[in-house]
Structure 1
Amino acid sequence: MEPRRVALIGAGSIAACHAYAMRALPFYYPGAPRVELAYVTSATVATRDAFAERYGVREALSLEALARRSDFDSVYILSPNAQHFSHFRFAAECDNVARIYLEKPVCTTIDDERALAAYSGVARVQTGFQFLQNSAVRLALRLCRERRFGVPVHFQVRYLHSGYLDHEYRSRRAERMMPAPEGGALIDLGSHAFSLAVAFLGDGLRVVDASASSAFPDVPSDLCTMALCRDVDTGAVGMVMASRVSAGAGELLEVELRGTMGGFRLSTENAEFLELFSLSSDKSQILRTSSGYTPLSTFPNRVVLGGWLRSLVHANYLFLNDQEDDPFADLRHGLTVQRLLRDAARHLN
Structure 2
Amino acid sequence: MNGNLILLNDHHFVLSVNFGASIFTIPDMDSEKIRIGFLGAGGIARSHAFALNSLKYFYSAVPEIELEAVCSARKESSNSFAVKFGFRKSLTLEEFKSNTKINTVLILGPNKVHFAHLKLALEMPSVTRIYLEKPVCSNLEEEMEMAQLAVNSGKQIQVGFQYLQTASVREALDFWHSGKLGNPIHFDLKYYHGDYLQKSYRDKRQTRLTPAPDGGAMADLGSHGISLLMAFLGENLQITSAVQAGRFADVPDDSDLFSLLSLVQPENFAAGTMSASRISSGTGDLVSLEIYAEKGMLRYSSHSVDYFEYYLEETGQWTRHIVGSNYTPITSFPSGHVPPGWLRSMIHAHYIFLGGNDPKAFMPDLKHGLAVQRIVRETAKYLKNYRDLIQDNGKK
TM-score interval for Structure 1 and Structure 2 normalised by the shorter chain: over 0.9
Mapping 1:250-261, distance limit 5 Å: 250-261=284-295
Q: Which residue in 2 is equivalent to 1:329?
A: 364
| Cα shift readout 1:283-342 (whole Å, capped 9, x = no counterpart) | 522111122311111222233232211100000011112657431101111011011111
Task: Determine whether 1:315 maps to 2:345.
Answer: no
Q: Which of these residues, 95, 117, 121, is aligned with residue 91 of structure 1?
A: 121
Task: Determine whether 1:60 maps to 2:95.
Answer: no
| Count of equivalent residues | 349
Task: Determine whether 1:342 maps to 2:342.
Answer: no
Q: Which of these residues, 9, 14, 20, is aligned with residue 50 of structure 2?
A: 20
Query: How many Å apart are 1:282 and its aligned residue?
Result: 4.8
Query: How many Å apart are 1:46 and its aligned residue?
Result: 1.1
Provide the rounded CA distance (Å) in 1 between the counterparts of 2:249 and 2:273. 24
Provide the rounded CA distance (Å) in 1 between the counterparts of 2:300 and 2:129. 32
Provide the rounded CA distance (Å) in 2 between the counterparts of 1:292 and 1:193. 23
Counterpart code for 1:71: K
Provide the rounded CA distance (Å) in 2 between the counterparts of 1:322 and 1:250. 32
Structure 2: give runs of 5+ residues left out of the alignment. Answer: 1-30, 385-396
Q: Which of these residues, 187, 193, 197, is aligned with residue 219 of structure 2?
A: 187
Query: How many Å apart are 1:58 and its aligned residue?
Result: 1.0
Do the aligned residues in 2 keep the contact of 1:212 with 1:225 (CA within 8 Å)?
Answer: yes
Counterpart code for 2:175: L
Provide the rounded CA distance (Å) in 1 between the counterparts of 2:60 and 2:313. 42
Query: How many Å apart are 1:57 and its aligned residue?
Result: 1.1
Provide the rounded CA distance (Å) in 2 between the counterparts of 1:67 and 1:90. 7
Do the aligned residues in 1 keep the contact of 2:187 with 2:271 (CA within 8 Å)?
Answer: yes
Query: How many Å apart are 1:54 and its aligned residue?
Result: 1.2
Query: How many Å apart are 1:188 and its aligned residue?
Result: 0.3
Q: Please identify, of 315-324 and 249-258, the stretch whose mean Cα deviation from structure 2 is larger.
A: 315-324
| Cα shift readout 1:4-62 (whole Å, capped 9, x = no counterpart) | 00000000111100100000101111111111111110000111111111111111111
Q: Which of these residues, 171, 179, 193, is aligned with residue 161 of structure 1?
A: 193
Counterpart code for 2:49: A
Do the aligned residues in 1 keep the contact of 2:213 with 2:379 (CA within 8 Å)?
Answer: no
Q: Which residue in 2 is equivalent to 1:267?
A: 301
Q: Which residue in 2 is equivalent to 1:278?
A: 312
Q: Please identify, of 252-261 and 115-124, the stretch whose mean Cα deviation from structure 2 is larger.
A: 115-124
Q: Please identify, of 61-70 and 101-110, the stretch whose mean Cα deviation from structure 2 is larger.
A: 61-70
Provide the rounded CA distance (Å) in 2 between the counterparts of 1:168 and 1:152. 42
Q: Which of these residues, 187, 199, 202, is aligned with residue 231 of structure 2?
A: 199
| Cα shift readout 1:142-188 (whole Å, capped 9, x = no counterpart) | 11111111110111111111100001211121111001011010100
Counterpart code for 1:80: P
Q: Which residue in 1 is equivalent to 2:321?
A: 287
What's the TM-score, normalizing by structure 1?
0.97
Task: Determine whether 1:9 maps to 2:39.
Answer: yes
Provide the rounded CA distance (Å) in 1 between the counterparts of 2:160 and 2:380. 20
Query: How many Å apart are 1:232 and its aligned residue?
Result: 0.5
Query: How many Å apart are 1:64 and its aligned residue?
Result: 1.1
Q: Which of these residues, 235, 238, 242, is aligned with residue 210 of structure 1?
A: 242
Provide the rounded CA distance (Å) in 1 between the counterparts of 2:339 and 2:33. 29
Counterpart code for 1:168: S
Do the aligned residues in 1 keep the contact of 2:260 with 2:273 (CA within 8 Å)?
Answer: yes
Do the aligned residues in 2 keep the contact of 1:139 with 1:292 (CA within 8 Å)?
Answer: no
Do the aligned residues in 2 keep the contact of 1:138 with 1:292 (CA within 8 Å)?
Answer: no
SS of aligned partner of 2:330: coil
What's the TM-score, normalizing by structure 2?
0.86
Do the aligned residues in 2 keep the contact of 1:273 with 1:287 (CA within 8 Å)?
Answer: yes
SS of aligned partner of 2:173: helix
SS of aligned partner of 2:248: coil
Counterpart code for 2:375: L
SS of aligned partner of 1:189: helix
Q: Please identify, of 30-39 and 70-79, the stretch whose mean Cα deviation from structure 2 is larger.
A: 30-39
Mapping 1:211-226, distance limit 5 Å: 211-220=243-252, 221-226=255-260
Provide the rounded CA distance (Å) in 2 between the counterparts of 1:62 and 1:332. 30
| Cα shift readout 1:229-255 (whole Å, capped 9, x = no counterpart) | 000012111111110000001211111
Task: Determine whether 1:296 maps to 2:330.
Answer: yes
Q: Which residue in 2 is equivalent to 1:171?
A: 203
Provide the rounded CA distance (Å) in 2 between the counterparts of 1:115 and 1:292. 40
Provide the rounded CA distance (Å) in 1 between the counterparts of 2:341 and 2:377. 30
Provide the rounded CA distance (Å) in 2 between the counterparts of 1:292 and 1:233. 34
Task: Determine whether 1:51 maps to 2:86.
Answer: no
TM-align CA RMSD: 1.3
Mapping 1:136-147, distance limit 5 Å: 136-147=168-179
SS of aligned partner of 2:325: coil
Provide the rounded CA distance (Å) in 1 between the counterparts of 2:356 and 2:103. 12
Provide the rounded CA distance (Å) in 2 between the counterparts of 1:80 and 1:203. 25
Counterpart code for 2:329: P
Give every structure 1 segment of 4 or more consecutive aligned residues whose post-TM-superposition deviation is greater than 4 Å: 322-325
